[in-house]
Structures are given as C-alpha cells and as structure tokens.
Amino acid sequence: MLARELFKNCSENIADIDITGIAYDSRKVSSGNVFVCIKGYETDGHKFAAMAAENGAAVIVAEDELDVNVPVVYVENTRKTIAELAIAFYGNPAKRFSLIGITGTNGKTTITYLVKSILEAAGKRVGVIGTNQNIIGDKLLLTKSTTPTTPNALELQQLFNEMVNNSADYVVMEVSSHALELERVHGCDFSVGVFTNLTQDHLDFHKTMENYLNAKAKLFAISKKGVVNFDDNGGKTIAARGECPDILKVGMGEGCDLKAENIRVSSRGSDFDMLYNGARYPAHIQIPGRFSVYNAICAAGAALQLGIDIETIIKGLGSATGVVGRVEVVPTDTDYTVIIDYAHTPDGLENVINCVQGFAEGRVITLFGCGGDRDNTKRPIMGEIAGRLSDFSIITSDNPRTEDPELIVREIEAGMKRTNGEYVLITDRREAIGYALDMARKGDVIILAGKGQETYQIIGKEKHDFDERIEVYKHLKNR
C-alpha cells in the first residue's frame, strides 16, 4: 500500500513510499513499516523512534519533534492516528459484519458468550473478542492481545480482518473503559452498544466514578442502537443523555422495556420470565445467580435490537454453556463444591457470594485477594463484603504486581474487622487454596475469587504459571 492511500493528508515526499505494515513497538518494526510513537504510562514511543528507523521504518508518526533520518508525519494524537491507519491498512474490515460492544464493570465476558449463543441459534457465524479469548465459531484466533480486555487499535483491526477472513456475520466484543478513554475503538461503528452496570473499579486510572461513567458512556456516541441496565443509575444516566438514538431499557424494576420476573436460582442455573411487549416468556440459563439473569436480559436486549425474534433468543440462552472463570465448577471427587469466579470488584464479589448462598447446603468459604498497583480503596470494601456474607473467609494474594502482598492483605483485613466474620490471612495463594480444601466439609462451597480464567499470577513484573484448577487437583491428589 502506498503512503498516499494510508495518510489522509500526505506530503509529496512520502506519497509514493510503499508501506508494508504498521507497528508501535520498535522491536517489531520491519522494512517499510510505519512506526507510530505512542505515549504510554511506563514509557514513551518517541524515545524509540531512532531504533525504529534503524530497524527499517519508512515513515514515523509522532506528536513531538524528532531528529531521525526518515520522514516524520506529525499529528495531534497518535492513539487516534494508529487507529485510523490500521483501519485504512486493513480496508475497514468492520464494515463487513455487524459489531456489538459490551461495556460496564461486571458481566461483559458472560454477555458476549450469551449473545454469541443467541446469534448462533439464529444460524449466524459469530466472533468474540474479549478477556478470555478471541474466537470465531469454535476456532481460536491466534492474534494476541497485549491488553486483558480490549485489544489496542492496531491489534483490534488485525482481529477484525481475521474475522472477515473467517466469514463472520457478527462480532461481539468487550469494550473496557480504558479502551474507550485511550481511543482503542476510535473509528469503530457499533450496531449495538450494551451497558451492564457501574460499580467501583479502576479508580487508579479514572480517579472518580463520574470519569469512569463518562468513559463507559462514550460507547453510546458511536453506537446506532443501545441496551442499558435501567436498574443501574449509570444506565439511567446514559439513557437520559440521548447520545444513542435508540435505547432499549432492560432490568427488573420500573421503566424497563424488557423485564425479568419470577427468578428461581439453583445450582443447575436460573429460571425466570421475560416480559416484552405485553407478553411473558419463560426462559432458562445454565448459569446460577440473580446477576446472571441481568446478564441474560442484557444479551436478550442486544439480540432484540439486532432484529432476532424472542423464540430464538430463549433457545440461544438455554443452550449457552457456562463461561470459563465465571461461576465455574471445578470437577472434584469430593462431597463439597469448588467454584472459580473472576469476581475482583466489590459488586462482583457480593454477587457471587449471594449467588452461592442461594444453593449451598453447607458453609460458603470465600478465598480472595486484591490486585496490586490498582485501586486500593476497594480493598477494605471487599473485606467487609466477604466478612458480612461468607461463613468463612481466606484473605490471600491476587496479582500483587509490584506491591507488598502483605500490605494488600492487611488493607483487606481492615474491612473484614468491621464484621463478625471468621477469617484467616494466608498470603501465599497456593497455600491458601490448600487450607480451604482441607477445612471444607460435606455440603460446603469454596469460592476461589479474583483469578477466573487467568492461568498465571503476576508477582513483581513477571507472570508465573498459576492455574487454580491445577492447584486444586494437585492438592487433592497429594492429600
């Protein structure tokens, strides 16, 4: 591709340069690439422009003045520019399928898979981009993401291109607040945007809940239609702003267009009635919990906005299996139950404990921690929630990163002490899991909260292999 085809305002001195690709990591630059200087939180791409030139960059895109021996295109915002360049380079692949975006603090991953199941029940080929994996149908896509939820703009367009090559009719993706704030989805047009809820998380980045909501709300300015959880104040705010012309309100309270009633939860899943257009429809999902019903009606709302009929929606919800790391039961030959869940926010932890309390025959034993180098104000809040709702809690490490794990544990304990809950502190997560398994009795349910689908633990700046499923099996075998 010639530079004149890639850049909107292309100067004559670069117009005929043949561009072979785009990169933002100087170590991955090859001959003929455009290197885009991105200002990050730990480093600045401008510092590596000379290295990129040495590695063969044909053009460099920057915000700040550079002294290099290749042409430089100066722009106001390189994050937006890399998105625009990637869209142009890959021929705007998202124009060839319908794009659905899911945002909110909790529920994003589960809703993407529920929407996928519904659309597949309608005979469509569906791709998913998100926390767990990037797939289309049953095929795992190999494009790797450097971000845990929403890929950066370049990788996102690469994934979209793969989706086109694999004949996607629809792509459902998680859209994080970071992605919206950092322009990762700049240039994307969503057929439907979905808002799940807003509870405390990521305040280390957004600083205030208002900023956090404003970031989430950006999805609806680039969505043709929307779905909001109208029981959540954030959903009410987004609907009232009117930035999206067609909003479907879902929930269990007043003012909803699609409503869930008569909820029954068991270890086998959740049954409920969906009320829509004056009619009542019995529905079932294989995932237990009241919060799972919220996820289901958000997914149903997205499908309705896409024109899928209610009978197909019910069929798709009923056939959807559980999601890895979301109320995931670990198969063990024991008379107690072990559940893995990604709950890492106050609301998420409260939801999963309440869910388990609804069907546990014995005690609910909650093992959890909080991530290091992240919002530390939620630590005592989560301690208090676990102490209030669990029969026994084990406070341990999550991903301590560069923080002292002992300090994190003590900050969680401060909230636990506000309750009468029984607990123990075991900083080593492997040891803590062993302790939980050894203390469990018949009918108990152990919740391993916080890691979910992750198969690693971040200590310092390194990832160490740590799959809780394997840790459970190892301990039970050795015992």
Give per-residue pLDDT as tens, 400-415.
999 999 999 999 999 9
260 contacts 281 by C-beta, under 8 angstroms: no
Q: Which domains does the chain have, with CATH numbers?
A: 3-78 (3.40.1390.10), 93-319 (3.40.1190.10), 328-478 (3.90.190.20)
pLDDT band at 434 (very low <50, low <70, confident <90, very high): very high
Give the total residue count for the chain. 479
* Predicted pLDDT of residue 326: 86
* Predicted pLDDT of residue 207: 74
Calculate Rg over the CA atoms of the chain. Answer: 24
Q: Would you say residue 375 has pLDDT above 60?
A: yes
Q: Would you say residue 143 has pLDDT above 80?
A: no
Q: Would you say residue 41 has pLDDT above 80?
A: no
Q: Would you say residue 199 has pLDDT above 90?
A: no
Distance CA 150, CA 184 (A): 8
* Predicted pLDDT of residue 367: 98
Give per-residue pLDDT as tens, 51-64.
999 999 999 999 99
Q: Would you say residue 454 has pLDDT above 60?
A: yes
Which secondary-structure segment (H or E) carries 445? strand 445-449
* Predicted pLDDT of residue 148: 56
Q: Would you say residue 73 has pLDDT above 80?
A: yes
Q: Would you say residue 388 has pLDDT above 70?
A: yes
* Predicted pLDDT of residue 310: 97
- Percentage of the chain beyond pLDDT 90 is 77
DSSP for 325-355 reads TSSEEEP-SSSSEEEEE---SHHHHHHHHHH
54 contacts 39 by C-beta, under 8 angstroms: no
List, in sequence order, every residue forming a beta bridge with 395; answer none if it has no partner: 368, 425
* Predicted pLDDT of residue 422: 98
Lowest-confidence pick of 97-106, 137-146, 334-343: 137-146
* Predicted pLDDT of residue 203: 62
The DSSP call for residue 257 is: S
Distance CA 290, CA 277 (A): 23
Burial group, residue 236, by CB count within 10 angstroms (0-12, 13-18, 19+)? middle
* Predicted pLDDT of residue 359: 85
Q: Would you say residue 113 has pLDDT above 70?
A: yes
Q: How many other C-beta atoms lie within 10 A of the C-beta of residue 23? A: 21
In degrees and rounded to multiples of 5, residue 41 shows phi and psi of: -90, -20
Q: Would you say residue 193 has pLDDT above 60?
A: yes
Q: Taking all residues of the chain, what is their mean pLDDT, rounded to a whole number?
A: 93
pLDDT band at 267 (very low <50, low <70, confident <90, very high): confident
Higher pLDDT: 367 or 328? It is 367
Burial group, residue 92, by CB count within 10 angstroms (0-12, 13-18, 19+)? middle
Q: Would you say residue 435 has pLDDT above 70?
A: yes
* Predicted pLDDT of residue 358: 83
* Predicted pLDDT of residue 215: 87
Distance CA 283, CA 250 (A): 15
Which secondary-structure segment (H or E) carries 423? strand 423-425
List, in sequence order, every residue forming a beta bridge with 247; answer none if it has no partner: 226
pLDDT band at 42 (very low <50, low <70, confident <90, very high): confident
The DSSP call for residue 1 is: -
Give me the mean pLDDT over the 366-370 stretch. 98
Strands 337-341 and 445-449: parallel
Which secondary-structure segment (H or E) carries 117? helix 108-121
* Those residues with Cβ within 8 angstroms of residue 42's Cβ, 6 or more apart along the chain or in another chain: none
List, in sequence order, every residue forming a beta bridge with 2; answer none if it has no partner: 18
The DSSP call for residue 167 is: T
Which two tokens mark 11? Answer: 């100067």
Burial group, residue 279, by CB count within 10 angstroms (0-12, 13-18, 19+)? exposed
* Predicted pLDDT of residue 29: 96
Give per-residue pLDDT as tens, 293-331.
999 999 999 999 999 999 999 999 999 987 888 888 898
Sign of the alpha-carbon torsion through 146, 201, 182, 66: negative
Lowest-confidence pick of 23-32, 76-85, 264-273, 358-367: 264-273
* Predicted pLDDT of residue 387: 98
* Predicted pLDDT of residue 142: 61
Give me the mean pLDDT over the 212-232 stretch. 94
* Predicted pLDDT of residue 93: 97
- Percentage of the chain beyond pLDDT 70 is 97
The DSSP call for residue 86 is: H
Strands 72-74 and 59-62: parallel
- Residue in the structure block whose two tokens are 């669990």: 390
* Predicted pLDDT of residue 200: 60
- Residue in the structure block whose two tokens are 């290749």: 70
244 contacts 225 by C-beta, under 8 angstroms: yes
List, in sequence order, every residue forming a beta bridge with 103; answer none if it has no partner: 195
